[in-house]
Amino acid sequence: MKATKMSLSSGIIERFREFLPSSKAVVSLGEGNTPLVFSPKLSAIVGRGCEVFIKNEGINPTGSFKDRGMTVAISRAIDNGAHALICASTGNTSASAAAYAARAGIPCAVVLPAGKIATGKLVQAMAHGAKIVPIEGNFDAALRIVQELSEDRKLVVVNSINPDRIAGQKTAAFEIVEDFGDAPDFHLLPVGNAGNITAYWAGYREFHSLGKSTKLPAMIGFQAAGAAPIFHNRVVDNPETIASAIRIGNPASWKHARAALEESKGAINVVTDEEILKAQSWLAQMEGIFVEPASAASIAGLFKCCPSEVGAKSLVEIPDGSRVVCTVTGHGLKDPDSILHSMDNVESVPAEIDKVRRAIGF
């Protein structure tokens, strides 16, 4: 592989250039090429010879899948002579935009629902020097304002309503097809603003039409029960969930997500906050993969697809021997609050070997 001056490890633009909108500038932090990890325990839970893999997007440079879209959107914005960037965010988009804007040397403003952003994500946007504007309103209001502000064309919007973001994010599907040599049978993922499910479906379809895969997966999306507009088929005015990344009541890519679900013969469903938190600790403790709550929606969703009671109807029929991929979208360190609470029960002991041995307890 040819090493460039920009980076020794190439990002998604260099790897998939022929499938992406063209750009001379390459603003990259070496995103993509994330692990597709076989999960023996999830495979055993699904059973019947099925194999479950986890596409761990928390391993991207800013800790979420947003980096795939951001490298394309910001490279193209630089090509087009943009002077400043703007986005609305539940946290990860702003962290990613701030980092890539810093790399490109261009100012970036992020409009966020006040008091609703996970600590780690806010810290990232601050660290990278973005202009942070908290609003007294939710993500849907923030996105509306950002869209209006961008009409004077001084500000380039880097939310997933920018098609360059979707183009970049579809590379995750490309990687999966390249890793397996084919598409999986099922792809499970969390759904918020619905850009990612749109992007994966576009990626799978593109590689299928080029003959790189023999089949297309059923796309199975999961929304948080208190923020499930697509599932209920109506706007949710006051979305609520512990999974703050997907606390969205009026997703921008709603229609595209519907198309992906219908064309792929997939399904959309909901998981409760309790199911999300349970799946988050299960994944951390059973497979060593620590993800933020929104990301655990895909794992909670998989559990919902495998009812333990005999005769219970499954959400989705997964045939014997299926290959299933669950995308986990963001790193657990971004949103430590739900786990930090359990530190309250951890007491210190004197610095004496016997006391420490007793405290260990095994």
Q: Which is nearer to ligand F0G, 68 or 76 (CB)?
A: 68
Q: Which is nearer to ligand F0G, 184 or 190 (by Cβ)? A: 190
Binding-residue pattern over the window 59 to 88 for ligand F0G, x denoting contact by CB under 6 A? -----x-x----------------------
Closer residue to ligand F0G in complex, CB, 62/75: 62
Show the site string, 303-332: x = touches ligand F0G by CB under 6 A, - = not.
--------------------------xx--
- Please give the structure tokens belonging to residue 34: 């994330």
By CB under 6 A, residue 203 contacts ligand F0G = no
Residue from 202, 294, 296, 305 that binds ligand F0G (CB under 6 A)? 294
Closest separation in Å from C-beta 345 to ligand F0G: 27
Q: Which is nearer to ligand F0G, 39 or 124 (CB)?
A: 124
Q: Which of 34, 90, 213, 241 binds ligand F0G (CB under 6 A)?
A: 90
Is residue 162 at the binding interface for ligand F0G, with CB under 6 A as the rule? no
Residue 146 binds ligand F0G (CB under 6 A): no
Closer residue to ligand F0G in complex, CB, 158/183: 158
What is the contact surface with ligand F0G in residues (CB under 6 A)? 64, 66, 89-93, 160, 190-196, 245-246, 292, 294-295, 329-330
